[in-house]
Structure 1
Amino acid sequence: MGHTERMVRAMSLRVQLLLLQVAIVLVLVCTTGVVASTIQEHQLREAYLDRMTGVAQSVAGLPAVVEAFDDADPAATIQPIAELIRRASDVTYVVVAGPDGTRYSHPDPDRIGERVSTDPSPALAGQVWTGTQTGTLGESWRVKVPVYGPTADDASPAAVVGVASVGILESELRRDWMSGLAQLFLALAGATVVGVLCAAWVAHLVRQRFFRLEPAQVRALMHDLDGARGLTAALRAQSHEFANKLHVISGLLELGRTDDAVRFIERAAHAEPGAAPPVPEAVRAPEVVALLRVKARIAAEHDIGFEVDAGSRVAPPGPQGAARHEDLLTVLGNLVDNAAEAVGPGGHVHLLVDDGGEPARTDGRAGTLRVVVDDDGPGIPRASRRAVLEDGFSTKQPTPERGSRGVGLALVRRAAERHGGGVRVSTSPLGGARVAVTLPGAALAAPTAPVVVPAAPGAAQPVRTGGGHP
């Protein structure tokens, strides 16, 4: 996943919609600006062309100009007329030249009498020529028209006696165009502001319609809904199944057939009657033993190897240790379930639970209780080991059966923090994940009468078990 894609995924739906619409507005505004400026330039040139053509034809048709071509000094008559028309029509120059290209008028009087700097042949051939050329005043947009002499009668065609050229500098054209663009850009900027505000309003409206939820949250809710529907259907079916089983158990008990009732319960729970519990004898807290036996049975059903370390030991809780004991059950249940789900069929889960076996201190409190769960699953990436302890975060994808994820380890973390402990996620020697939890400082079990176990032959003294000191 690229950096840009990660940035987009990190954005909220509202920001994504806003940026998308702003981009669309900017593209439309820029396109409109380019098209409008091009059209404006074309219209400006067309307007100047119409003006220059009209001025050139007017000059070429003036009787005073036409008659001056027969004078000994045509410039004396034509120059004042051309300058007057130039100022009145707001063009750069009005130049009249004879058939040999000699100028009779020019904005710079010193240029009169010289040959024109550009080719006059199209106009001398009777054509109207328009285009851009570079002359003595610079690059200009110009029109050249023929000047026809007087005719002896109406039937004879008039002869071309000269050229009238009218032009405007390209620099002036650009200046006029840019002055128009300033107003256009102001209008486009206003349209952009209005478009962005409308885009922000639309993004806000869309988010309101989605109940202020982001797409990932909507997907999670859909997964949760599918899971809830599946769970409801499963519970409805199980309620009928267990009702029937309870009726059988009730009937057996009424008949006094207790052994048959026990065997029926074991079969219903997929248990093997008489199977030895996979829990070391040093784990003496009955709730822990019961929980681990059930977890071992469920793991076996799913072809998962579940082993409780032989060094595990948990004493029954004292009155002051009840809260820690309840949190211990929460920790054990969630860690074993998570590990079993991570490894899947054929995997292996190893559990060590140890209350330290320390004698009571003067304050009546025990040492740190440790729970370590190892598995041979895929493990937890190093970058996610802090995040997995937060609510709602999980390295697993939601499923219709399980719904949302990221709950179990968060419960474990909160349970540990209630007792001043913590949770550490690392790599297991088995190759998967190791989760180690510490629950310090709960009360020990109340001292019980020591149970004397006969020593093995050759032993110096018996071994005592229980809450007392040796």
Structure 2
Amino acid sequence: MTQHEMKTRPARRAGRVSLVAQILVLQVLVLVASLAVIATWQISRTDDKLREEYAERALAVSRAVASDPEVREKLSATSSLDVPPEELVGGDMQRMAVDIARRTGVLFVVIANREGIRLAHPDLDKIGFHVSTDPSGVLDGEEILDTDRGTLGESVRGKAPVRDVDGRIVGFVSTGISTQEIADEARGDIAVTIGIAALALFVGITASWLLARRWRRLTLGLQPDELVDLVTDQRAVLGSLADGVVAIGRDERLRVINDRARELLDISAPVGTPKDELSLSPRLLGLLNDPNPRPIAAGVGEQIVLASSHRVTVDGRDLGVVLSVIDRTDIEQLSRELDSIKSMSEALRAQRHETANRFHVLSGLLRHGHSDEALEFLTEIIGRRGASEPSGLDNVAEPHLHAFLDAKTSLARERGVELSIGGQTWVAGALVDPVAATTVLGNLVDNAIDAAAGDLGRVEAGDEIRAKVEAELVTDDGTLWITVADSGPGIGFDDPSQVFTEGATSKPDDVPGGHGMGLALARQICRRAGGDIQVVDPGGDPDGLGGAVFVAELRDVISEG
């Protein structure tokens, strides 16, 4: 375990048996109990089964002897005679019984007549005497299977009646197999059963141990309550982050997402959803497919976010990609407002500089007694009052737009660009959402000034300004129409609509997230209220200024009452 894992892993409570150990012990106990029950049942069943099998074997031998014609004939002939035991000892039935017992491996084969007198017996001293067990059942015609103790010890027995040609019972045959032989075979079967149970126990314990190791590895050695605490803490931390966090697993499915990410990216899909079904923008999907730790600006609905991604690996295993997102919409809006303030301050600075120069000239003329020239100079200044304002700006009565265009005019002049107001311009009333309107207008005008000023060769030192931008604003039933044209080189994309794509720009990438978000943000603002921004001319129109022409529609943004 690495030092980092030791530091970040929750401390285990002392004196507590781990769940893995508890499960292992429980599995072993259940396995031992199960095997013990099965082994006991099998051992008991083995003894009963062996006794039954040996009894059937003994009965089969008895049947075979009882059906022998010679045995039937001799029993019929001797059943009513009182034959001396000496003759029976060396008789044919004795030899037959001994031979059958030897060949079949049974303990004994006893042949008796109807009176129960032994005519054949392994113990010669017992021949001619009555059998030691009750023969009534077999003499009644039944086949008997039992376990009994006789003169030769305990045995399982099979008894079969012997019938003459007329079907009368003339005797019986009793075959016995020693229970000691059964016990010996049972012990062998029991040993095999115990061996199998022991092997099963070993395999079960080994499997449980391997499973416990895998469990410990999968859970990083943590206990269930520690896992619960860890998950709870992680949820609390993720939920408190100002940044959105999205984790995509190696299977390209959503694994982790905090509330901030759901809010910023408008994701309502549950964990486990494939990433292609999360409705992410192409730029964000690109970050997931090709992780990039450098923040990149992306649009999500009406918001602008800064997103970065990292591939996560642990012990050389690829776990997936983590995407971090930060809301940049407020920053963009503040940037636009700051741009407006900066433009106005630069315009005031230029006017202050120009006014100071005029006062210096006027002061010098008066100080040297050139009162007539001073009066003429003052008259000229008064006569040119307002000449710095573009023609037609008075048609923009809305104060925010008026001040904004006035400031942009001064800024454009400093960059060698003439900003003019279109002849059809007419804006009355008050803006309902000044930030939205100035953001859209500012993006269009700034881009137009950049395009016109960057068209090298159009403006030379000492020449009159030939780089031009024209802005025309018209209101119609609460809708503000903005048309901006420039004398720049036009749109450089084969598809003009690409200028609205996130990140599309010709400017240097010198800030986090780069440029290329202005027009995308402006279009989102317009579309939010049902309007839009379109490129009506990508450039090259000889009847216009020669550059690109944009038209923006902002609905319900101005009150004309």
TM-score interval for Structure 1 and Structure 2 normalised by the shorter chain: 0.3 to 0.5
Whose Rg is larger?
2
Higher relative contact order (CA 8 A, sep 6+): 1
**More strand per residue: 1 or 2?**
2
Q: TM-score, normalised by structure 1?
A: 0.44
